[in-house]
């Protein structure tokens, strides 16, 4: 019976993605062990390091369907690691003791680490696909709402007008940087391991480096310059990268949650009957996907920190830090997959209320246009004096609950320089969007979008 959120029959598909769970499943992990042992035997047979007859027999018996899972579990619990248990079964299935050549010159960590890298490759491919879809969804929103005014917010207070397209494009730029980071880190982290007991391949008298090169070529992985049994920066880098991606997803969830508040009501998660309802308050429409995103990425960050701890390994083969990765790496990938899936759902069906966005700009009686007024008056009365004057008139507008433009128009040091029509132009949010549209266009035209 499942006991974790990731494997739960109830919650599993809300907190994670089935495709990613498959990547980190016992079945796929064991299949990767077999893939490596198969490739190793094939390469060593070609190099004449082991008899070709043995290589052929080992290759024939490296099949997941031949694994006895009860025996694998029992032997793993006895030894502490599953690799010997897998090799034992391959050996037992081979005829004429030819299986004795299986795992020739390798050590448990070689197979375990290389299998983890193969799983990471599959996991990162899913992350890349999801990032592409999220980027496309953000690009569509940025383009559609390029010129749609919405209030910018600073310290949760209304600041100055921006556009909703600008808001989406700024997040999109970060997602595109993640896509670039992913391409940059692949050559570093998709690197296999084959070093033997202490990493020097001392168990092979000849063809050691040729075996290593051929094995990595067979698996489609980079060949390491030197063994990395206890130098774990590449694993930690993957965790850090996924933590960064999670931070960006959390930013999306945070803004959507805040914009869904009843008093704001500018955007909403996609609607489905009953989704986000309360057991006691029928009127509620809770931001369900955003809640799961927030929870997932918070745990992802903690696991990323754990992978930093796993880097502090002793000597050439470690006493415990390595196993941290066994716990943290699958959960990072699975939890992030859930956050990615929920983010895609939110963005692809995001409900945007442009009318409410404009109404929210207007609720302050024009106060949010005070910067534009200050800058507009600057050439006439000086920017610093204009700042202090507009500040005082804003307080008057609040105290008397009057539109700012009326208070401005009545002031003698203002109306002697500008007309009401000029003040109206200063107070029009559409005239104070700065370079928002230009910036949106720059993001959409970026080489990272291609």
Largest CA distance in the chain: 105
The helix, strand and coil proportions of the chain, stated in percent and rounded to the nearest 5, come to 65, 5, 30
d(CA 401, CA 186): 59
Task: Take residue 417 and report the two structure tokens written for it.
Answer: 């320089």
d(CA 118, CA 333): 13
- Using alpha carbons, select from 431, 437, 434, 438 the residue that is nearest to residue 366: 431
**Is 317 known to be catalytic?**
yes
Note whether 252 and 343 are within 8 A (CB).
Answer: yes
- Using alpha carbons, select from 86, 91, 84, 92 the residue that is nearest to residue 26: 86
Task: Take residue 332 and report the two structure tokens written for it.
Answer: 């990072």
Q: For residues 209-222, b (16+ Cβ closer than 10 Å) or e, as one string?
A: eebbebbbebbebb
Q: Which of 278, 383, 395, 442 is catalytic?
A: 278
Place of tokens 């050549």: 101
Beta bridge partners of 163: 149
Note whether 109 and 318 are within 8 A (CB).
Answer: no
**Is 318 known to be catalytic?**
no
DSSP state of 149: E
- Using alpha carbons, select from 347, 346, 341, 443 the residue that is nearest to residue 130: 341
- Using alpha carbons, select from 183, 108, 255, 163 the residue that is nearest to residue 439: 163
Beta bridge partners of 268: 351
Note whether 432 and 160 are within 8 A (CB).
Answer: yes
Q: Which of 60, 121, 181, 317 is catalytic?
A: 317
User: Could you list the active site residues?
Assistant: 278, 317
């Amino acid at each position: 019976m499942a006991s974790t959120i990731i494997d739960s029959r109830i919650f599993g598909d809300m907190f994670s993605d089935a495709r990613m769970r498959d990547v980190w499943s016992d079945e796929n992990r064991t299949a990767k062990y077999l893939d490596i042992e198969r490739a190793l035997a094939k390469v060593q047979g070609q190099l004449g390091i082991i008899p070709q007859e043995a290589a052929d027999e080992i290759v024939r018996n490296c099949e997941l369907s031949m694994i006895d899972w009860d025996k694998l579990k029992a032997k793993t619990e006895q030894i502490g690691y599953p690799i010997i248990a897998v090799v034992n079964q391959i050996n037992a299935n081979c005829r004429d003791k030819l299986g004795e050549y299986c795992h020739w010159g390798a050590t448990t960590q070689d197979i375990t680490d290389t299998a983890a890298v193969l799983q990471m490759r599959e996991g990162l491919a899913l992350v890349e696909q999801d990032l592409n879809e999220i980027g496309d969804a953000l690009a569509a929103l940025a383009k559609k709402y390029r010129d749609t005014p919405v209030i910018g917010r600073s310290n949760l207070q209304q600041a100055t007008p921006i556009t909703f397209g600008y808001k989406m494009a700024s997040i999109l730029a970060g997602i595109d940087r993640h896509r670039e980071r992913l391409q940059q880190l692949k050559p570093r982290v998709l690197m296999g391991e084959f070093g033997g007991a202490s990493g020097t391949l001392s168990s092979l008298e000849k063809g050691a480096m040729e075996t290593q090169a051929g094995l990595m070529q067979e698996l489609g992985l980079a060949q390491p310059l030197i063994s990395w049994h206890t130098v774990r920066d590449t694993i930690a880098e993957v965790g850090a990268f996924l933590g960064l991606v999670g931070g960006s997803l959390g930013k999306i969830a945070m803004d959507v949650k805040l914009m869904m508040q009843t008093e704001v009501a500018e955007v909403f998660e996609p609607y489905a009957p009953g989704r986000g309802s309360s057991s006691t308050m029928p009127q509620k429409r809770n931001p369900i996907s955003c809640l799961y995103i927030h929870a997932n990425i918070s745990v992802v960050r903690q696991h990323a920190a754990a992978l930093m701890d796993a880097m502090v390994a002793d000597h050439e083969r470690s006493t415990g830090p390595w196993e941290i990765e066994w716990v943290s790496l699958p959960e990072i990938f699975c939890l992030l997959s859930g956050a990615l899936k929920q983010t895609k759902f939110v963005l692809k069906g995001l409900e945007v209320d442009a009318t409410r966005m404009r109404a929210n700009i207007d609720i302050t009686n024009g106060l949010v246009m005070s910067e534009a007024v200050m800058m507009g008056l600057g050439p006439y009365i000086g920017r610093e004096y204009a700042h202090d004057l507009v500040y005082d008139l804003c307080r008057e507008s609040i105290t008397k609950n009057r539109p700012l433009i009326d208070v401005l128009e009545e002031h003698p040091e203002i109306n002697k320089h500008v007309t009401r029509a000029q003040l109206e132009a200063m107070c029009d949010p559409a005239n104070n969007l700065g370079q928002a549209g230009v910036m949106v266009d720059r993001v959409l035209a970026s080489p990272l979008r291609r």
